Structure 1
Amino acid sequence: MTDDKIIDIADSVVSLNVRLANLVIDCGDEIGKTMVPLNEVAALVLSNPHVIMTNAAIAGIAASGGIVVVTDSKFQPAGMLLPLDSHYTQGERFRMQAAVALPVQKRIWQQIVRSKIQAQAAVLKRLTNHDGGLPHLSSRVTSGDTGNHEAQAAQRYWPAVFNNPHFRRNREAPDQNRLLNYGYAILRALTARTICGVGLHPTLGVHHHNRYDPFALASDLMEPFRPLVDEAVARIVFEQGDGVPLGKDVKKSLISGITGLIEVDGETRTIFSILAKSASSLVAVYSGEKKKLFCRSGK
Protein backbone atom coordinates (compact mmCIF):
# COMPACT_ATOMS: atom_id res chain seq x y z
CA MET A 1 0.00 0.00 0.00
CA THR A 2 1.22 3.45 -0.79
CA ASP A 3 -0.31 5.40 2.08
CA ASP A 4 -2.04 3.27 4.72
CA LYS A 5 -4.94 5.00 6.44
CA ILE A 6 -7.10 4.13 9.43
CA ILE A 7 -10.59 5.57 9.00
CA ASP A 8 -12.91 5.72 12.00
CA ILE A 9 -16.59 6.36 11.27
CA ALA A 10 -17.97 7.47 14.61
CA ASP A 11 -19.46 10.94 14.75
CA SER A 12 -21.62 11.14 11.65
CA VAL A 13 -24.40 9.17 10.04
CA VAL A 14 -22.79 8.23 6.74
CA SER A 15 -23.18 5.96 3.77
CA LEU A 16 -20.21 4.14 2.25
CA ASN A 17 -19.96 3.16 -1.38
CA VAL A 18 -17.38 2.67 -4.12
CA ARG A 19 -16.72 4.73 -7.19
CA LEU A 20 -13.82 4.25 -9.61
CA ALA A 21 -11.72 2.26 -7.10
CA ASN A 22 -12.34 4.84 -4.37
CA LEU A 23 -14.19 4.48 -1.09
CA VAL A 24 -16.85 7.19 -1.06
CA ILE A 25 -17.75 8.48 2.41
CA ASP A 26 -21.00 10.45 2.14
CA CYS A 27 -21.96 12.38 5.26
CA GLY A 28 -25.08 13.79 3.64
CA ASP A 29 -24.59 17.29 5.09
CA GLU A 30 -22.42 20.32 4.59
CA ILE A 31 -19.32 18.15 4.87
CA GLY A 32 -20.34 16.40 1.66
CA LYS A 33 -18.42 13.49 0.24
CA THR A 34 -14.87 12.30 0.82
CA MET A 35 -13.11 9.89 -1.51
CA VAL A 36 -10.23 7.64 -0.44
CA PRO A 37 -8.47 5.20 -2.80
CA LEU A 38 -9.35 1.66 -1.76
CA ASN A 39 -5.70 0.60 -1.80
CA GLU A 40 -4.95 3.19 0.89
CA VAL A 41 -7.54 1.88 3.38
CA ALA A 42 -5.64 -0.20 5.95
CA ALA A 43 -8.57 -0.32 8.36
CA LEU A 44 -12.13 0.97 8.36
CA VAL A 45 -13.51 1.16 11.91
CA LEU A 46 -17.29 1.41 12.22
CA SER A 47 -18.06 2.91 15.62
CA ASN A 48 -21.40 4.46 14.63
CA PRO A 49 -24.43 2.11 14.65
CA HIS A 50 -26.13 4.12 11.89
CA VAL A 51 -23.61 3.54 9.09
CA ILE A 52 -24.96 2.32 5.75
CA MET A 53 -22.40 0.32 3.76
CA THR A 54 -22.81 -1.32 0.37
CA ASN A 55 -21.53 -4.76 -0.52
CA ALA A 56 -19.29 -3.09 -3.12
CA ALA A 57 -17.56 -1.11 -0.37
CA ILE A 58 -17.02 -4.19 1.81
CA ALA A 59 -15.76 -6.29 -1.11
CA GLY A 60 -13.58 -3.47 -2.44
CA ILE A 61 -11.78 -2.96 0.88
CA ALA A 62 -11.22 -6.70 1.33
CA ALA A 63 -9.97 -7.15 -2.24
CA SER A 64 -7.47 -4.34 -1.67
CA GLY A 65 -6.10 -5.99 1.47
CA GLY A 66 -7.88 -3.77 4.00
CA ILE A 67 -10.00 -4.76 6.97
CA VAL A 68 -13.35 -3.66 8.37
CA VAL A 69 -13.84 -3.56 12.14
CA VAL A 70 -17.24 -3.21 13.82
CA THR A 71 -17.14 -2.10 17.46
CA ASP A 72 -19.66 -2.36 20.25
CA SER A 73 -20.76 0.38 22.66
CA LYS A 74 -17.52 -0.03 24.63
CA PHE A 75 -15.39 0.26 21.47
CA GLN A 76 -14.35 -3.38 21.68
CA PRO A 77 -14.30 -5.22 18.34
CA ALA A 78 -17.61 -7.03 17.88
CA GLY A 79 -16.66 -8.27 14.43
CA MET A 80 -13.86 -8.08 11.91
CA LEU A 81 -13.73 -8.68 8.17
CA LEU A 82 -10.36 -9.87 6.88
CA PRO A 83 -9.22 -10.60 3.31
CA LEU A 84 -10.02 -14.23 2.46
CA ASP A 85 -7.36 -14.84 -0.19
CA SER A 86 -4.41 -12.59 0.54
CA HIS A 87 -1.45 -14.88 -0.21
CA TYR A 88 -0.82 -17.34 -3.03
CA THR A 89 0.50 -20.10 -0.70
CA GLN A 90 -2.08 -19.56 2.01
CA GLY A 91 -3.22 -23.20 2.29
CA GLU A 92 0.34 -24.48 2.51
CA ARG A 93 1.20 -21.96 5.21
CA PHE A 94 -1.92 -22.81 7.22
CA ARG A 95 -0.79 -26.45 7.34
CA MET A 96 2.76 -25.45 8.27
CA GLN A 97 1.44 -23.16 11.00
CA ALA A 98 -0.78 -25.86 12.50
CA ALA A 99 2.17 -28.28 12.67
CA VAL A 100 4.63 -26.00 14.48
CA ALA A 101 6.28 -27.83 17.38
CA LEU A 102 5.63 -26.68 20.94
CA PRO A 103 9.32 -25.85 21.69
CA VAL A 104 9.30 -23.47 18.71
CA GLN A 105 6.14 -21.79 19.97
CA LYS A 106 7.68 -21.38 23.41
CA ARG A 107 10.84 -19.83 21.95
CA ILE A 108 8.74 -17.38 19.94
CA TRP A 109 6.76 -16.41 23.03
CA GLN A 110 10.00 -15.84 24.96
CA GLN A 111 11.14 -13.38 22.30
CA ILE A 112 7.77 -11.63 22.24
CA VAL A 113 7.66 -11.19 26.02
CA ARG A 114 11.24 -9.90 26.16
CA SER A 115 10.47 -7.34 23.46
CA LYS A 116 7.24 -6.26 25.17
CA ILE A 117 8.95 -5.71 28.53
CA GLN A 118 11.77 -3.77 26.87
CA ALA A 119 9.20 -1.55 25.16
CA GLN A 120 7.41 -1.02 28.49
CA ALA A 121 10.70 -0.02 30.08
CA ALA A 122 11.30 2.53 27.33
CA VAL A 123 7.83 4.03 27.86
CA LEU A 124 8.45 4.36 31.59
CA LYS A 125 11.82 5.97 30.91
CA ARG A 126 10.21 8.58 28.67
CA LEU A 127 7.30 9.28 31.01
CA THR A 128 8.97 9.01 34.43
CA ASN A 129 12.72 9.05 33.71
CA HIS A 130 12.99 5.60 35.33
CA ASP A 131 12.69 2.16 33.74
CA GLY A 132 11.24 0.44 36.82
CA GLY A 133 13.85 -2.31 36.70
CA LEU A 134 12.07 -3.86 33.72
CA PRO A 135 15.20 -4.46 31.58
CA HIS A 136 16.43 -6.87 34.27
CA LEU A 137 13.10 -8.73 34.19
CA SER A 138 13.30 -8.90 30.41
CA SER A 139 16.70 -10.56 30.55
CA ARG A 140 15.32 -13.30 32.84
CA VAL A 141 12.49 -14.41 30.54
CA THR A 142 12.97 -18.06 29.64
CA SER A 143 11.41 -20.26 26.94
CA GLY A 144 7.63 -20.02 27.23
CA ASP A 145 8.04 -17.43 30.02
CA THR A 146 7.57 -20.18 32.59
CA GLY A 147 8.49 -17.72 35.33
CA ASN A 148 5.62 -15.46 34.26
CA HIS A 149 7.86 -12.41 34.04
CA GLU A 150 5.28 -10.74 31.80
CA ALA A 151 2.90 -10.56 34.78
CA GLN A 152 5.68 -9.43 37.11
CA ALA A 153 6.50 -6.60 34.72
CA ALA A 154 2.83 -5.61 34.51
CA GLN A 155 2.63 -5.28 38.30
CA ARG A 156 5.41 -2.69 38.19
CA TYR A 157 4.45 -1.10 34.90
CA TRP A 158 0.77 -0.18 35.21
CA PRO A 159 0.89 1.82 38.47
CA ALA A 160 4.00 3.64 37.23
CA VAL A 161 2.81 4.48 33.71
CA PHE A 162 -0.25 6.33 35.05
CA ASN A 163 1.37 7.50 38.31
CA ASN A 164 -1.44 5.75 40.17
CA PRO A 165 -0.65 2.92 42.62
CA HIS A 166 -4.26 1.72 42.43
CA PHE A 167 -4.54 1.45 38.65
CA ARG A 168 -5.32 -1.98 37.25
CA ARG A 169 -5.90 -3.11 33.69
CA ASN A 170 -9.65 -3.81 33.62
CA ARG A 171 -11.55 -3.82 30.34
CA GLU A 172 -14.81 -2.95 32.08
CA ALA A 173 -13.54 0.00 34.11
CA PRO A 174 -14.93 3.44 33.13
CA ASP A 175 -11.54 5.20 33.31
CA GLN A 176 -8.56 5.26 30.95
CA ASN A 177 -9.17 1.57 30.34
CA ARG A 178 -11.75 2.72 27.78
CA LEU A 179 -9.01 4.42 25.79
CA LEU A 180 -6.75 1.39 26.09
CA ASN A 181 -9.59 -0.80 24.81
CA TYR A 182 -9.98 1.33 21.71
CA GLY A 183 -6.26 1.57 20.98
CA TYR A 184 -5.75 -2.16 21.41
CA ALA A 185 -8.72 -2.88 19.13
CA ILE A 186 -7.08 -0.86 16.36
CA LEU A 187 -3.71 -2.49 16.97
CA ARG A 188 -5.19 -6.01 16.98
CA ALA A 189 -6.98 -5.33 13.71
CA LEU A 190 -3.81 -4.06 12.01
CA THR A 191 -1.89 -7.07 13.28
CA ALA A 192 -4.54 -9.53 12.06
CA ARG A 193 -4.49 -7.85 8.65
CA THR A 194 -0.71 -8.23 8.44
CA ILE A 195 -0.87 -11.89 9.51
CA CYS A 196 -3.37 -12.63 6.74
CA GLY A 197 -1.14 -10.73 4.31
CA VAL A 198 1.70 -13.24 4.79
CA GLY A 199 -0.62 -16.24 4.42
CA LEU A 200 -0.99 -17.21 8.10
CA HIS A 201 -4.22 -17.73 10.02
CA PRO A 202 -4.84 -15.25 12.86
CA THR A 203 -6.65 -17.86 14.99
CA LEU A 204 -3.69 -20.24 15.47
CA GLY A 205 -1.66 -18.59 18.23
CA VAL A 206 1.72 -19.44 19.74
CA HIS A 207 0.67 -18.58 23.32
CA HIS A 208 -2.87 -17.24 23.39
CA HIS A 209 -5.27 -20.16 23.03
CA ASN A 210 -8.55 -18.79 24.37
CA ARG A 211 -11.29 -20.74 22.59
CA TYR A 212 -13.29 -17.51 22.32
CA ASP A 213 -10.46 -15.49 20.73
CA PRO A 214 -10.63 -15.77 16.93
CA PHE A 215 -7.46 -13.68 16.60
CA ALA A 216 -5.11 -15.49 19.00
CA LEU A 217 -2.02 -15.06 16.81
CA ALA A 218 -2.78 -11.35 16.44
CA SER A 219 -3.02 -11.15 20.24
CA ASP A 220 0.45 -12.74 20.41
CA LEU A 221 2.20 -10.70 17.74
CA MET A 222 0.80 -7.35 18.89
CA GLU A 223 2.19 -7.65 22.44
CA PRO A 224 5.44 -5.70 21.86
CA PHE A 225 3.40 -2.88 20.30
CA ARG A 226 0.88 -2.42 23.12
CA PRO A 227 3.16 0.13 24.85
CA LEU A 228 2.60 2.44 21.85
CA VAL A 229 -1.04 2.62 22.92
CA ASP A 230 -0.16 2.86 26.61
CA GLU A 231 2.07 5.88 26.11
CA ALA A 232 -0.49 7.67 23.94
CA VAL A 233 -3.19 7.05 26.57
CA ALA A 234 -0.93 8.15 29.40
CA ARG A 235 -0.18 11.47 27.72
CA ILE A 236 -3.88 12.08 27.08
CA VAL A 237 -4.77 11.26 30.70
CA PHE A 238 -2.03 13.50 32.10
CA GLU A 239 -3.45 16.41 30.09
CA GLN A 240 -7.21 15.75 30.29
CA GLY A 241 -7.85 13.30 33.12
CA ASP A 242 -8.95 9.67 33.11
CA GLY A 243 -12.58 10.58 32.48
CA VAL A 244 -11.91 12.25 29.12
CA PRO A 245 -14.61 11.34 26.56
CA LEU A 246 -13.50 9.00 23.80
CA GLY A 247 -14.34 11.53 21.13
CA LYS A 248 -12.96 12.41 17.74
CA ASP A 249 -9.86 14.27 18.97
CA VAL A 250 -8.91 11.59 21.49
CA LYS A 251 -9.30 8.86 18.88
CA LYS A 252 -7.14 10.87 16.51
CA SER A 253 -4.43 11.15 19.16
CA LEU A 254 -4.57 7.41 19.83
CA ILE A 255 -4.35 6.51 16.15
CA SER A 256 -1.44 8.93 15.73
CA GLY A 257 0.31 7.26 18.65
CA ILE A 258 -0.04 3.87 16.98
CA THR A 259 0.83 4.91 13.44
CA GLY A 260 3.62 7.36 14.19
CA LEU A 261 7.22 6.64 13.21
CA ILE A 262 9.11 4.11 15.33
CA GLU A 263 12.87 3.63 15.56
CA VAL A 264 13.97 0.01 15.09
CA ASP A 265 17.60 -1.06 14.65
CA GLY A 266 18.61 2.50 13.86
CA GLU A 267 15.94 2.90 11.19
CA THR A 268 12.72 4.90 11.33
CA ARG A 269 9.71 2.81 10.31
CA THR A 270 5.93 2.86 10.45
CA ILE A 271 3.87 0.33 12.40
CA PHE A 272 2.73 -1.13 9.07
CA SER A 273 6.32 -1.77 7.99
CA ILE A 274 7.39 -3.24 11.32
CA LEU A 275 4.36 -5.53 11.60
CA ALA A 276 4.93 -6.74 8.04
CA LYS A 277 8.58 -7.58 8.81
CA SER A 278 7.60 -9.24 12.08
CA ALA A 279 4.91 -11.40 10.42
CA SER A 280 7.28 -12.36 7.59
CA SER A 281 9.95 -13.37 10.09
CA LEU A 282 7.35 -15.51 11.88
CA VAL A 283 6.79 -17.44 8.66
CA ALA A 284 10.55 -17.97 8.42
CA VAL A 285 10.68 -19.26 12.00
CA TYR A 286 7.76 -21.60 11.35
CA SER A 287 9.49 -22.98 8.26
CA GLY A 288 12.81 -23.46 10.07
CA GLU A 289 14.65 -20.87 7.97
CA LYS A 290 15.25 -18.63 11.00
CA LYS A 291 15.50 -19.06 14.75
CA LYS A 292 14.59 -15.54 15.80
CA LEU A 293 11.43 -13.51 15.38
CA PHE A 294 11.84 -9.88 14.34
CA CYS A 295 10.44 -7.77 17.19
CA ARG A 296 10.50 -4.06 17.78
CA SER A 297 13.06 -2.70 20.18
CA GLY A 298 12.10 -0.62 23.18
CA LYS A 299 13.07 2.67 21.52
Structure 2
Amino acid sequence: MDVSEGPARLRLENRLLVLEGPENRCWSAPVEEIAVVVLSTEWVRLSAPVLTALAAHGGVLIACDRRGLPVATTLPLRGHTLFPQRLRLQIAAGRPCQKRAWKALVRAKIRAQAGVLRRLHGEDGGLETLVEKVRSGDPENVEAEAARRYWPRVFALPEFRRDPDSAEAPNNLLNYGYAVLRGMVARALVAAGLTPALGLHHRHRENAFALADDLMEPFRPIVDEQVARILRGTGREVGLDQEIKRRLLEPMVGRYFYEGAWRKLATILHCLAARLVDVFEGRANKDWPLPTSWDGVWRSE
Protein backbone atom coordinates (compact mmCIF):
# COMPACT_ATOMS: atom_id res chain seq x y z
CA MET A 1 0.00 0.00 0.00
CA ASP A 2 1.38 3.42 -0.99
CA VAL A 3 -0.06 6.54 0.65
CA SER A 4 0.93 9.30 -1.75
CA GLU A 5 -1.79 11.93 -1.39
CA GLY A 6 -2.81 13.88 1.68
CA PRO A 7 -4.43 14.70 3.86
CA ALA A 8 -4.99 11.01 4.59
CA ARG A 9 -5.78 8.81 7.54
CA LEU A 10 -5.00 5.16 8.28
CA ARG A 11 -7.24 3.37 10.76
CA LEU A 12 -8.40 -0.10 11.76
CA GLU A 13 -11.97 -1.32 11.39
CA ASN A 14 -13.02 -4.95 11.88
CA ARG A 15 -9.51 -6.27 11.12
CA LEU A 16 -9.34 -4.13 7.98
CA LEU A 17 -6.72 -1.46 7.37
CA VAL A 18 -8.70 1.50 6.04
CA LEU A 19 -7.16 4.36 4.09
CA GLU A 20 -9.21 7.55 3.98
CA GLY A 21 -7.86 9.85 1.30
CA PRO A 22 -8.67 13.26 -0.15
CA GLU A 23 -12.17 13.93 -1.47
CA ASN A 24 -13.62 11.21 0.78
CA ARG A 25 -11.96 8.42 -1.20
CA CYS A 26 -11.67 5.23 0.80
CA TRP A 27 -9.79 1.95 0.33
CA SER A 28 -9.43 -1.06 2.63
CA ALA A 29 -7.81 -4.50 2.86
CA PRO A 30 -7.36 -7.19 5.52
CA VAL A 31 -4.39 -6.13 7.61
CA GLU A 32 -2.89 -9.64 7.50
CA GLU A 33 -2.60 -9.40 3.69
CA ILE A 34 -0.54 -6.20 3.72
CA ALA A 35 3.22 -6.73 3.53
CA VAL A 36 4.36 -3.10 3.17
CA VAL A 37 2.84 0.33 3.80
CA VAL A 38 4.74 3.23 2.21
CA LEU A 39 4.02 6.70 3.58
CA SER A 40 5.02 8.96 0.67
CA THR A 41 3.37 12.09 2.06
CA GLU A 42 3.82 13.91 5.35
CA TRP A 43 0.10 14.63 5.47
CA VAL A 44 -1.04 11.31 6.89
CA ARG A 45 -2.36 10.39 10.32
CA LEU A 46 -2.27 6.94 11.86
CA SER A 47 -2.78 5.51 15.31
CA ALA A 48 -0.86 3.13 17.57
CA PRO A 49 -3.38 0.32 16.87
CA VAL A 50 -2.48 0.55 13.16
CA LEU A 51 1.22 0.12 13.95
CA THR A 52 0.65 -2.74 16.39
CA ALA A 53 -1.71 -4.56 13.99
CA LEU A 54 0.84 -4.30 11.17
CA ALA A 55 3.59 -5.56 13.47
CA ALA A 56 1.44 -8.42 14.76
CA HIS A 57 0.99 -9.68 11.19
CA GLY A 58 4.60 -9.11 10.13
CA GLY A 59 3.92 -5.94 8.15
CA VAL A 60 6.49 -3.25 7.43
CA LEU A 61 5.92 0.51 7.43
CA ILE A 62 8.26 2.71 5.37
CA ALA A 63 8.33 6.49 5.87
CA CYS A 64 9.55 8.85 3.12
CA ASP A 65 11.01 12.35 3.24
CA ARG A 66 9.76 15.40 1.35
CA ARG A 67 11.51 14.19 -1.81
CA GLY A 68 9.52 10.95 -1.62
CA LEU A 69 12.60 8.85 -0.82
CA PRO A 70 12.35 6.25 1.99
CA VAL A 71 14.19 7.24 5.17
CA ALA A 72 12.90 4.87 7.88
CA THR A 73 11.50 1.36 8.24
CA THR A 74 9.66 -0.35 11.09
CA LEU A 75 9.98 -4.06 11.81
CA PRO A 76 8.11 -6.30 14.27
CA LEU A 77 9.89 -6.72 17.61
CA ARG A 78 8.07 -9.96 18.32
CA GLY A 79 10.06 -12.27 16.12
CA HIS A 80 10.29 -16.01 15.73
CA THR A 81 10.01 -18.14 18.86
CA LEU A 82 13.52 -19.47 18.19
CA PHE A 83 15.04 -16.01 17.75
CA PRO A 84 17.67 -16.35 20.54
CA GLN A 85 18.81 -19.72 19.20
CA ARG A 86 19.05 -18.44 15.64
CA LEU A 87 20.87 -15.32 16.74
CA ARG A 88 23.53 -17.56 18.26
CA LEU A 89 23.68 -19.53 14.99
CA GLN A 90 24.22 -16.32 13.01
CA ILE A 91 26.99 -15.20 15.33
CA ALA A 92 28.65 -18.63 15.20
CA ALA A 93 28.48 -18.99 11.40
CA GLY A 94 32.03 -19.29 10.10
CA ARG A 95 33.48 -17.29 7.26
CA PRO A 96 33.55 -20.29 4.86
CA CYS A 97 29.79 -20.70 5.32
CA GLN A 98 29.18 -16.98 4.80
CA LYS A 99 31.41 -16.86 1.72
CA ARG A 100 29.64 -19.81 0.08
CA ALA A 101 26.27 -18.17 0.68
CA TRP A 102 27.55 -14.89 -0.77
CA LYS A 103 28.79 -16.74 -3.86
CA ALA A 104 25.30 -18.15 -4.42
CA LEU A 105 23.72 -14.72 -4.05
CA VAL A 106 26.16 -13.02 -6.45
CA ARG A 107 25.72 -15.75 -9.07
CA ALA A 108 21.93 -15.44 -8.82
CA LYS A 109 22.18 -11.65 -9.11
CA ILE A 110 24.33 -11.78 -12.25
CA ARG A 111 21.99 -14.33 -13.85
CA ALA A 112 19.05 -12.05 -13.09
CA GLN A 113 20.89 -9.06 -14.57
CA ALA A 114 21.64 -11.08 -17.71
CA GLY A 115 17.95 -11.94 -17.99
CA VAL A 116 16.97 -8.28 -17.75
CA LEU A 117 19.36 -7.32 -20.55
CA ARG A 118 18.09 -10.13 -22.78
CA ARG A 119 14.46 -9.09 -22.30
CA LEU A 120 15.17 -5.39 -22.81
CA HIS A 121 17.85 -5.47 -25.52
CA GLY A 122 18.08 -9.01 -26.88
CA GLU A 123 21.57 -9.77 -25.53
CA ASP A 124 23.11 -10.22 -22.09
CA GLY A 125 26.24 -8.10 -22.49
CA GLY A 126 28.43 -11.09 -21.69
CA LEU A 127 27.10 -11.39 -18.15
CA GLU A 128 26.18 -15.06 -18.40
CA THR A 129 29.84 -15.93 -19.00
CA LEU A 130 30.76 -14.30 -15.70
CA VAL A 131 28.49 -16.44 -13.52
CA GLU A 132 30.78 -19.45 -13.21
CA LYS A 133 33.74 -17.18 -12.45
CA VAL A 134 32.26 -16.24 -9.07
CA ARG A 135 34.10 -18.21 -6.39
CA SER A 136 33.45 -18.49 -2.66
CA GLY A 137 33.34 -14.96 -1.24
CA ASP A 138 33.81 -13.51 -4.77
CA PRO A 139 37.49 -12.61 -4.13
CA GLU A 140 37.94 -11.37 -7.72
CA ASN A 141 34.93 -9.07 -7.29
CA VAL A 142 33.16 -10.45 -10.35
CA GLU A 143 30.05 -8.67 -9.07
CA ALA A 144 31.73 -5.32 -9.82
CA GLU A 145 32.79 -6.47 -13.29
CA ALA A 146 29.19 -7.47 -14.01
CA ALA A 147 28.01 -4.06 -12.80
CA ARG A 148 30.43 -2.29 -15.16
CA ARG A 149 28.88 -4.16 -18.09
CA TYR A 150 25.32 -3.99 -16.83
CA TRP A 151 24.62 -0.37 -15.84
CA PRO A 152 25.54 1.33 -19.15
CA ARG A 153 23.30 -1.12 -21.01
CA VAL A 154 20.20 -1.58 -18.87
CA PHE A 155 18.86 1.98 -19.41
CA ALA A 156 20.67 2.48 -22.73
CA LEU A 157 22.53 5.36 -21.07
CA PRO A 158 26.29 4.85 -21.53
CA GLU A 159 27.06 7.72 -19.13
CA PHE A 160 24.85 6.40 -16.32
CA ARG A 161 26.39 6.02 -12.87
CA ARG A 162 24.59 4.37 -9.99
CA ASP A 163 24.31 6.91 -7.13
CA PRO A 164 22.26 6.00 -4.03
CA ASP A 165 22.24 9.68 -2.96
CA SER A 166 20.97 11.12 -6.23
CA ALA A 167 17.46 12.58 -6.48
CA GLU A 168 17.55 12.57 -10.29
CA ALA A 169 16.17 9.91 -12.61
CA PRO A 170 16.76 7.06 -12.91
CA ASN A 171 18.58 6.94 -9.56
CA ASN A 172 15.58 8.36 -7.70
CA LEU A 173 13.36 5.56 -9.02
CA LEU A 174 15.94 2.92 -8.15
CA ASN A 175 16.34 4.31 -4.63
CA TYR A 176 12.60 4.14 -4.02
CA GLY A 177 12.19 0.63 -5.40
CA TYR A 178 15.23 -0.73 -3.57
CA ALA A 179 14.05 0.74 -0.25
CA VAL A 180 10.68 -1.01 -0.53
CA LEU A 181 12.37 -4.27 -1.53
CA ARG A 182 14.78 -3.94 1.39
CA GLY A 183 11.88 -3.61 3.80
CA MET A 184 10.25 -6.75 2.39
CA VAL A 185 13.47 -8.74 2.73
CA ALA A 186 14.00 -7.52 6.29
CA ARG A 187 10.46 -8.58 7.13
CA ALA A 188 11.11 -12.10 5.78
CA LEU A 189 14.33 -12.39 7.79
CA VAL A 190 12.66 -11.35 11.05
CA ALA A 191 9.82 -13.80 10.39
CA ALA A 192 12.44 -16.56 10.05
CA GLY A 193 13.99 -15.66 13.41
CA LEU A 194 17.06 -13.97 11.90
CA THR A 195 18.39 -10.51 12.72
CA PRO A 196 18.94 -8.29 9.65
CA ALA A 197 21.92 -6.57 11.28
CA LEU A 198 24.34 -9.52 10.98
CA GLY A 199 25.35 -9.73 7.33
CA LEU A 200 27.15 -12.27 5.20
CA HIS A 201 29.06 -9.77 3.07
CA HIS A 202 27.72 -6.33 3.98
CA ARG A 203 29.31 -5.47 7.32
CA HIS A 204 29.31 -1.70 7.89
CA ARG A 205 28.97 -1.03 11.62
CA GLU A 206 26.18 1.51 11.06
CA ASN A 207 24.12 -0.76 8.79
CA ALA A 208 21.22 -2.28 10.72
CA PHE A 209 20.02 -4.12 7.59
CA ALA A 210 23.23 -5.79 6.42
CA LEU A 211 21.73 -9.25 5.97
CA ALA A 212 18.73 -7.76 4.16
CA ASP A 213 21.17 -6.03 1.79
CA ASP A 214 22.82 -9.41 1.17
CA LEU A 215 19.65 -11.37 0.52
CA MET A 216 18.04 -8.73 -1.72
CA GLU A 217 20.89 -8.76 -4.26
CA PRO A 218 19.31 -11.30 -6.68
CA PHE A 219 16.05 -9.32 -6.60
CA ARG A 220 17.39 -5.86 -7.37
CA PRO A 221 17.10 -6.49 -11.14
CA ILE A 222 13.32 -6.66 -10.67
CA VAL A 223 13.43 -2.96 -9.84
CA ASP A 224 15.99 -2.21 -12.57
CA GLU A 225 13.82 -3.70 -15.29
CA GLN A 226 10.70 -1.87 -14.17
CA VAL A 227 12.61 1.43 -14.06
CA ALA A 228 13.92 0.80 -17.58
CA ARG A 229 10.39 0.19 -18.86
CA ILE A 230 9.14 3.35 -17.14
CA LEU A 231 11.92 5.39 -18.78
CA ARG A 232 11.05 3.98 -22.19
CA GLY A 233 7.54 5.35 -21.91
CA THR A 234 8.18 8.65 -20.16
CA GLY A 235 11.68 9.81 -21.01
CA ARG A 236 14.61 10.46 -18.72
CA GLU A 237 13.15 13.29 -16.60
CA VAL A 238 10.90 11.28 -14.29
CA GLY A 239 9.75 12.37 -10.85
CA LEU A 240 8.34 10.25 -8.05
CA ASP A 241 4.70 11.12 -8.54
CA GLN A 242 1.83 8.87 -7.52
CA GLU A 243 1.59 7.05 -10.85
CA ILE A 244 5.33 6.34 -11.02
CA LYS A 245 5.32 4.97 -7.47
CA ARG A 246 2.37 2.78 -8.31
CA ARG A 247 4.25 1.33 -11.26
CA LEU A 248 7.40 0.81 -9.18
CA LEU A 249 5.39 -1.19 -6.65
CA GLU A 250 3.76 -3.44 -9.27
CA PRO A 251 6.61 -6.01 -9.34
CA MET A 252 6.62 -6.12 -5.52
CA VAL A 253 3.04 -7.38 -5.43
CA GLY A 254 3.25 -9.50 -8.58
CA ARG A 255 3.69 -13.24 -8.85
CA TYR A 256 6.79 -15.08 -10.07
CA PHE A 257 7.24 -18.64 -11.30
CA TYR A 258 9.14 -20.27 -8.48
CA GLU A 259 9.62 -23.98 -7.83
CA GLY A 260 6.78 -25.06 -10.09
CA ALA A 261 4.13 -22.49 -9.19
CA TRP A 262 3.31 -18.78 -9.46
CA ARG A 263 4.04 -17.27 -6.05
CA LYS A 264 4.05 -13.81 -4.51
CA LEU A 265 7.43 -12.17 -4.07
CA ALA A 266 6.87 -12.01 -0.29
CA THR A 267 6.40 -15.80 -0.25
CA ILE A 268 9.62 -16.36 -2.19
CA LEU A 269 11.56 -14.13 0.20
CA HIS A 270 10.22 -16.08 3.17
CA CYS A 271 11.32 -19.33 1.50
CA LEU A 272 14.85 -18.03 0.93
CA ALA A 273 15.11 -16.75 4.50
CA ALA A 274 14.13 -20.24 5.69
CA ARG A 275 16.83 -21.74 3.44
CA LEU A 276 19.38 -19.42 4.98
CA VAL A 277 18.39 -20.78 8.39
CA ASP A 278 19.13 -24.26 6.99
CA VAL A 279 22.57 -22.99 5.95
CA PHE A 280 23.33 -21.73 9.45
CA GLU A 281 22.07 -25.00 10.97
CA GLY A 282 24.18 -27.10 8.59
CA ARG A 283 21.22 -28.76 6.84
CA ALA A 284 21.60 -27.12 3.42
CA ASN A 285 23.69 -28.01 0.41
CA LYS A 286 27.12 -26.49 1.02
CA ASP A 287 26.75 -24.22 -2.02
CA TRP A 288 23.23 -23.10 -1.03
CA PRO A 289 21.85 -23.17 -4.58
CA LEU A 290 19.11 -20.66 -5.24
CA PRO A 291 16.20 -21.93 -7.38
CA THR A 292 17.13 -22.19 -11.04
CA SER A 293 13.52 -21.47 -11.99
CA TRP A 294 13.84 -17.86 -10.81
CA ASP A 295 14.03 -15.55 -13.82
CA GLY A 296 12.51 -12.31 -12.58
CA VAL A 297 9.54 -12.42 -14.95
CA TRP A 298 6.39 -11.42 -13.10
CA ARG A 299 2.70 -11.18 -13.74
CA SER A 300 0.05 -9.13 -12.02
CA GLU A 301 -2.49 -10.56 -9.60
TM norm structure 1? 0.93
Between stretches 276-285 and 263-272, larger displacement belongs to: 263-272
The residue type equivalent to 1:47 in the other structure is S
Find out whether 1:243 has 2:237 as its counterpart. Answer: yes
- Give the match for residue 299 of structure 2: none
The 1-side partners of 2:34 and 2:253 are apart by: 13
Alignment partner, residue 273 of structure 2: 279
Report the residue type matching 1:144 in the other structure: G
Partner of 1:105: 98
Match of 2:4? 10
Matches within 5 A, 1:65-104: 65-104=58-97
Partner-residue secondary structure (3-state), 1:211: coil
SS at match of 2:23: coil
Query: Are the aligned partners of 1:16 and 1:25 in contact in 2 as well (CA < 8 Å)?
Result: yes
Is the Cα–Cα contact under 8 Å of residues 12 and 18 in structure 2 kept in the other structure?
A: yes
What displacement does 1:144 show? 0.5
1:28 Cα offset (Å):
5.4
User: For 1:42 and 1:257, how far apart are their aligned partners in 2?
Assistant: 13
Instruction: State TM-score, norm by structure 2.
Output: 0.93
- Taking a change above 3 Å as real, the CA distance of residues 264 and 294 of structure 1, as seen in their structure-2 partners, is farther
- The offset of 1:202, in angstroms, is 0.7
Distance in structure 2 (CA, Å) of the matches to 1:249 and 1:87? 36
Q: Please, which moves more after superposition, 263-272 or 88-97? A: 263-272
Native 8 Å contact 2:100 2:288 kept in 1: no
Match of 2:201 in 1: 207
- 1:278–1:293 contact (8 Å) kept in structure 2: no
SS in 2 for 1:155: helix
2:114 is matched with 121
1:260 CA displacement: 2.1
State whether structure 2 residue 245 is matched by structure 1 residue 257.
Answer: no
Q: 1:184 aligned to 2:189?
A: no
Q: CA RMSD in A?
A: 1.5
Q: 2:192 aligns with which of 195, 198, 206?
A: 198
Letter paired with 2:88: R
Q: Letter of the 2:205 partner, please give it.
A: R
Cα distance in 1, alignment partners of residues 141 and 93 from structure 2: 22
1:33-82 deviation line (CA, Å, top 9, x unaligned) = 32221101111111111211100111111011111111223444322111
* Structure 1, unaligned runs of 5 or more: 1-6
Task: Give secondary structure in 1 for the equivalent of 2:72.
Answer: strand
Unaligned runs of 5+ in 2: 296-301
Q: Distance in 1 between matches of 2:241 and 2:144?
A: 31
Does the CA contact (< 8 Å) of 1:14 and 1:50 recur in 2? yes
